Structure 1
Amino acid sequence: MKRLGTQLLSGLIFPVAPIAAICLISALCRNIWTASFYTPGEDGGEFEPSMAIIGVPILLVLSALILAGLTVLTRWIEGRYEPGIWWRTMMGILRTVLAAGSLMMFLIAAVFFMGDAQGVMTHWQVAVAWAVWGVCAGAFAVQQYRRVLR
């Protein structure tokens, strides 16, 4: 039962937490990013917010599926064969590249909704948004670090 709870929590950390954080940051900083970026009717003005709130979460789900596939493949190969250190190194490098790419996509989507860089000094929402991003990114980094060490 404890293993099921751990797996459920692990599934919530990524991609559910970053997607929820993107939606929360979007709602929290709505007045900031609409004033900074979005002009209705402007050419391509609808692309950036839709990419940040729809496109990036889809890419995060795809990367989560790939990371899960790497975990399953690693456990299967290591349980059936004894591939050696080269296998763990290769899987660790692949996992690190996918995790870094996922964190970059998450950061880009979150920063888009936070607006300009000067917003940190004038809007409390931006400080809260950075805290939410930091907690989600930290939990994801710890999760991936533990999986590489296994």
Structure 2
Amino acid sequence: MNPQDNRAIVNMLIFPIAPIVVIPVLSVLCQDMWHAAHYTPGEDGGEVEPAMALVMIPLLLIILAVVLSAITALNRWIARRFAPGNWWRIVVGVPRVLLAGVSLLLFSVSVGFFMGDVTAIGHWQIVCAWIAWLIVVTTFVGQQYRRLTE
């Protein structure tokens, strides 16, 4: 396996796999808090929010990861073939930043939902959830910054 393949695997582990793994882990870790805060048995839609956070948001993250990787591939192909100027970096960078922002927002909403009360720092589960969120967000932002500057 050459170094380029290793880098592709690591990039795939950063996004979308890391957020998709963290979401269900935090749902199990913080289940008592989000269940008490959000779930009302028998209420219409009481099952919708967890399903959205566990199923739909990871699916959207996968779709956004495919679009971001397509932008990266297009950028590399255009850069090798035509050697465009800074205008091309702006054309590619703006949608990348917007898609990365949407991805971070979706991930944060899902994780925040499972935390229940995100300000309850007294609970060790919330502290662990914030640490997991921070690790995923930091690595994702670093990955996207490297892509913007290459």
Residue 100 (structure 2) aligns with: 99
Same amino acid, percent of matched pairs: 44
Residue 143 (structure 1) aligns with: 143
Offset from partner CA, 1:53-79 (integer Å, 9 cap, x none): 111100100000000000011111111
User: Which deviates further from its counterpart, 111-120 or 22-31?
Assistant: 111-120
The AA in structure 2 aligned to 1:22 is: I
Offset of 1:82 from its aligned partner? 2.2
The root-mean-square deviation of aligned C-alpha atoms, in Å, is: 0.9
Residue 129 (structure 1) aligns with: 129
Offset of 1:117 from its aligned partner? 3.7
What is the correspondence of 1:67-106 to structure 2 with a 5 Å cutoff? 67-106=68-107
Q: Is the 8 A contact 2:53 2:113 kept in 1?
A: yes
TM-score, normalized by length of structure 2? 0.96
Q: Is the 8 A contact 2:38 2:116 kept in 1?
A: yes
Offset from partner CA, 1:20-64 (integer Å, 9 cap, x none): 010111010011111110112101111111101111100100000
The AA in structure 1 aligned to 2:5 is: L
| Structure-1 separation of matches of 2:79 and 2:119 | 50
Q: How many residues align?
A: 149
The AA in structure 2 aligned to 1:21 is: V
Unpaired runs of 5+ residues, structure 2, are: none
Offset of 1:116 from its aligned partner? 1.7
What is the correspondence of 1:4-43 to structure 2 with a 5 Å cutoff? 4-43=5-44
Offset of 1:6 from its aligned partner? 1.4
Residue 66 (structure 2) aligns with: 65
Q: Is the 8 A contact 2:118 2:126 kept in 1?
A: no
Offset of 1:118 from its aligned partner? 4.2
Moved over 6 A (4+): none
1:40 match: secondary structure: coil
Offset of 1:120 from its aligned partner? 2.0
The AA in structure 2 aligned to 1:129 is: A
Unpaired runs of 5+ residues, structure 1, are: none
The AA in structure 2 aligned to 1:100 is: G
The AA in structure 2 aligned to 1:63 is: L
2:11 match: secondary structure: helix
The AA in structure 2 aligned to 1:19 is: I
